[in-house]
Every structure is written in C-alpha cells, then in structure tokens.
Amino acid sequence: MKKLFLIILLIVLYSGVVVGQTKKVDTVVVELAKKSKLVLTIGDKADIPTLKTYDYAALFADIIRKLEAKDTTIKPITEPLQSKTESEPEWPAFDNNDNDVSKWEFSGRESKRRFVGRNTWQSFNIDFGTNNFLNNGSFPDKDNQPYAVRPWGSWYIGLNSIQKTRIAGKLFLEWGFGVSWYNFKFQNDGTTLTKGNASVEFAELSTDLNPVKSKLTVTYLNASLVPVLDFGSNNKKVRFWDTDQAFRIGVGPYVGYRIDSYAKNVYKENGDKERDRNRSNFYLNNLRYGARLQVGYRGTDLFFNYDFNELFANNRGPSLNAFSFGIIF
C-alpha cells in the first residue's frame, strides 16, 4: 500500500510539473480507497523541489497514526529528508571490497546513509610474550654469565592504544602509544644487581640465604609506527573468534622512554620468605628504539620486537640487545 501510494504520488507530482508548463495546477486528488482520498494543494510551484525531498512512506505512516489516534492537527508531522540528514550524525559503513560508497538505502520507513572514505579505527591491544637479550649476537647462558635469562618466567607485557589508518587499498598504518614491561628473570636465582661507581655490578646472595627468584624489571612508555598489508576484508582489529581468512604482515619502528626500573630478589631466611626490591636506573639507557614485526592470520596475531640500541649505557654494563616476542590480544 505504501509503495503504491509513493509511486502514484511521485508520478502525479512529476506530471504536475510537466503539465504546469502549459496549465496551472492547484490541487492533486489521489483516490486511495472506496471512501478515502488524498488532496494535495499546491499554492506555489516553487514548493515542488522541496516536496520531492520528503520521505513519503514515513509521511503516510504518520498520517495513518494520526487518524487512528483521532488527531486531526494539520501542523507538519514529518520533515524533509534533506533537513533531517543535515542534523543527524553520520556513521561509516563498508562493503566487502572497501569501495567508496555514498548512497541512500530505504527499507520501509527506515533510511540510513552509508559512506566510506579514509578512516581510522581504534583498538586496545595487549602484547604478551617472553623477553631475552643477546650478548654480541649470542645468548649469555652460552658462557654461563650471571645475567643469563630464563625464557619461562621472563614475561614481556605491553598495553597499547593502536589506531589503524587506511593509506591505500590493502595498505594500512598502525600507530599508537602504550606502556611495556621487560621482566628479565635470571637463570641464577641468587643473582643481585647493584649500581656501582662506574658500572652495574652482578653478584650473588649470601650462602646463608636460600634464593627463590631474581629478576630485573624495566618499564617504558612507547610509540610505534607500523605499515601493515592486510589482505582481508575486515579493516578493524581481528579477534580470535573471527573467521576472516585474512593474512596480515607489517614491520616498522618504535621508540620507548624508560620511566621505572628495579631489581627484585626473593629468598628464604630462617624458613620465612623475604623480598628485597632495589629501585635504581642501573646505568640503563633511558631510550630504547628498534623494529617491530607483526604477522597475523585469521584471529591470531604475533609480534617480534628487537631493540637496536643496547640495554645498558656504553661501557656501563654488558653489551646486551633486548628482544621480545609473543601474541597480540
């Protein structure tokens, strides 16, 4: 009924415009039922462009509701589509091929505008994995160094606010800021760190104590900029439960600034567990910078970070380049 009314009314209006060139049209009458009709009075042909902008399906539904409610007020009950869209907020929607779209879609009385442009999506990501370091290209435990690290228990954690911006086609730029923690759990549970006069010093706990755990924790504020090729149709962050057969790969730089660092020793003394925390800079470099690799498929994303600069300041500690790898949630 609504569609038929809309078609008839549009035809009548269009005919009125054409005929109006030779004959003045003041009133249009549309027969709707046996005893019902719609009378449209046009006082000025200049109103016709405005009349064309109305959502007549919604207008007719409003009229029916007025009649059912026995409300015979004649004030306007529906605004033109043009005036509505100027005040209503717009929201992006995307087709499967990420094409630019700008059109109106009607379904009954509902309408919405779909458009696509260059956009940015935000997500909160968690990096969780393990960290270690290399001494001149090899692991320190090769030479049984006191700062050799246990892979299990040396957890790397990063909390990041990431923005994903489309550059062109399948090329995106993931950029953002976050905070991360290096946790270097030493192979020797009795290893201690102290800041000496000229360098960091590694030693062992007294033999009277029963060591349980020893680690160095360093906290950084970070910024990253990673170009990513995403071959899937989902431009937002892919979750574990998604079925998109997408493959993603990206590599780019990051930089971090140290905001905290401490050494922690856990040991037993006379049967009681004790904890010592020594907060110091330990001659650690305040800046870290390196490259980040990201690889993803479907709902799983992995990362690998490698620091180009050394963990400790030059000639203030062992030559160690830290790295981390794991999964992105």
Alpha carbon separation from 240 to 10, 178, 327 (Å, rounded): 50, 22, 11
**Closest residue by Cα to residue 320 from 200, 198, 195:** 200
- Concatenating the DSSP letter of every residue in 154-217 gives -EEEEEEEEEEEEEETTEEEEEEEEEEEEEEEBSSTTEEEEE-SSSEEEEE--TTSEEEEEEEE
d(CA 122, CA 306): 25
Q: Give the pTM.
A: 0.64
Q: Which of helix, strand or coil describes residue 132?
A: strand
d(CA 221, CA 178): 6
Burial tier of 5 (Cβ tally within 10 Å: 0-12, 13-18, 19+) = middle
Instruction: Give backbone dihedrals phi and psi of 13, rounded to 5 degrees, phi first.
Output: -60, -45
Distance of CA 255 to the CA centre of its chain: 20
d(CA 127, CA 156): 7
- Sign of the dihedral defined by the CA atoms of residues 90, 96, 99, 104, in that order: negative
Q: At which residue do the structure tokens 């498929």 appear?
A: 297
At residue 68, the pLDDT reads: 74
- H-helix or E-strand containing 92? none
Over the Cα atoms of the chain, what is R_g? Answer: 34
d(CA 321, CA 18): 80
**Which residues, including other chains, have CB under 8 Å from residue 310's CB and lie 6 or more apart?**
285, 319, 320, 321
**Average pLDDT per run of 10 along the chain, which is 329 residues long?**
52 48 60 70 75 72 74 51 44 46 38 48 95 94 91 96 93 96 97 96 91 97 97 66 76 98 95 94 98 94 98 97 97
Give 78's DSSP letter.
Answer: S
- H-helix or E-strand containing 230? strand 210-230
Q: Is residue 42 a contact partner of residue 27, using CB atoms and an 8 Å limit?
A: yes
At residue 44, the pLDDT reads: 75
Q: At which residue do the structure tokens 């042909």 appear?
A: 45
Q: Domain segments of the chain: what residues?
A: 2-87, 120-328
At residue 260, the pLDDT reads: 98
| Distance separating the N- and C-terminal Cα atoms of the chain | 51
Count of beta carbons in the 10 Å neighbourhood of residue 164: 20
Q: Where are the alpha helices (DSSP H) in the chain?
A: 2-19, 48-51, 56-68, 81-87
**Which residues, including other chains, have CB under 8 Å from residue 248's CB and lie 6 or more apart?**
228, 229, 230, 231, 232, 238, 294, 295, 296, 297, 301
**Closest residue by Cα to residue 126 from 83, 163, 180:** 180
